[in-house]
Amino acid sequence: MKQDIPRFVQDEAYTRNFGEQWNRYREVQLDSKNGTTITRDRFFSCTKWTAEELRGKQVLEAGCGAGRFTEILLGLGAEVFAFDYSSAVDACLKNNGPHPRLHVVQADIFRIPFPERSFDYVFCYGVLQHTPNPRGAFLHLVRYMKPGGKISVDCYRRTFRLSRGFRPNRWSSKYLYRWLTARLPVGILRRIVEWYVPRWLPVDDFCGRIPVLRSVVPLLVPCWNYRGILPLSAEQRKAWAVLDTFDALSARYDKPQRTEDIRSWFQEAGLADIDIFKGGNGIVGNGRRGGNKG
């Protein structure tokens, strides 16, 4: 069985970096390839959905990337309608297709080519902060939920304001560099990251054992080092560091939000059972559309 990808955009616009990274590193974060349950565990702990409720349901996955969560949803028996603005859809289909319950399209989150009010679940992780209008993107997604349907999104959490002083850590220090890195040609930045991150990781590990250096080193060299955080082998940790460092430095848009902002979006959308908490990549928001499923 061959599956083609319908394409509803003319180019990748502001998402070219994601097409580059997910096609190049398409298997790095797949549980089935790295032998972990990192993605599965994050999915269940953040969405709070169950395997039983997802089986046979229709799920809209907004911003599928290489399909790490697509893999989980298909394994749970859901019918998945996955889309991404970037050419990452090619990686998603290679990783998960062909599959009778998988439908992959390349489309803009503001122009989703599916009927509104037609999905039991809407899932969107790692995406909203990388759109030009995170609130607008969220409110648009809500339109595709059936009455009684559920939604789960996450977004980077805003923890600082430059005007009030900036105390960077490993994860927020990227904002010291993004004024330059986000403007570099994607291919050049990728090659820079692929060169320096593997060489820097041993130094970063060493500095991480020294309290004085631990708080200073992340300011000098951005490096997404998951030592002691994720159960990865040395080679896997290197691959994740390259991938996530490139991701952090290359995205055209990076718009973290406050917890109260996310809560206000859910309230504005009129959702019920609102649950906003820290987790995943920053802030997770879960909710349900009022009414009964028909």
- Distance between terminal CA atoms of the chain? 32
Please provide the DSSP assignment of 22-39 as one string: HHHSTTTT-HHHHS--HH
pLDDT at residue 57 is higher than 90: yes
Sign of the Cα torsion 94, 98, 99, 104 reads positive
Task: Give 3's Cβ-side CA count (13 Å radius).
Answer: 18
250-288 pLDDT, tens digit per residue, is: 999 999 999 999 999 999 999 999 999 998 789 999 999
CA angle 30, 69, 40 (to 5 degrees): 75
Q: Where are the domains of the chain?
A: 13-158+256-288, 166-250
pLDDT at residue 177 is higher than 80: yes
70-81 pLDDT, tens digit per residue, is: 999 999 999 999
- What fold does the segment set 13-158+256-288 form as a domain? Rossmann fold (3.40.50)
CA angle 243, 62, 288 (to 5 degrees): 125
User: Where is average pLDDT lowest: 63-67, 86-90, 144-148, 225-229?
Assistant: 225-229
Assign 165 a pLDDT band (cuts: 50, 70, 90). low
pLDDT for residue 163: 46
Asked if residue 259 lies in contact with residue 283, where contact means CB atoms within 8 angstroms, the answer is yes
DSSP at 175: G
Average pLDDT of the residues in 3-23: 95
Asked if residue 30 lies in contact with residue 37, where contact means CB atoms within 8 angstroms, the answer is no
| Distance separating alpha carbons of residues 20 and 9, to the nearest angstrom | 17
Joined tokens for residue 30: 């797949």
pLDDT at residue 292 is higher than 80: no
| Distance separating alpha carbons of residues 139 and 84, to the nearest angstrom | 17
Average pLDDT of the residues in 22-50: 98
pLDDT for residue 146: 98
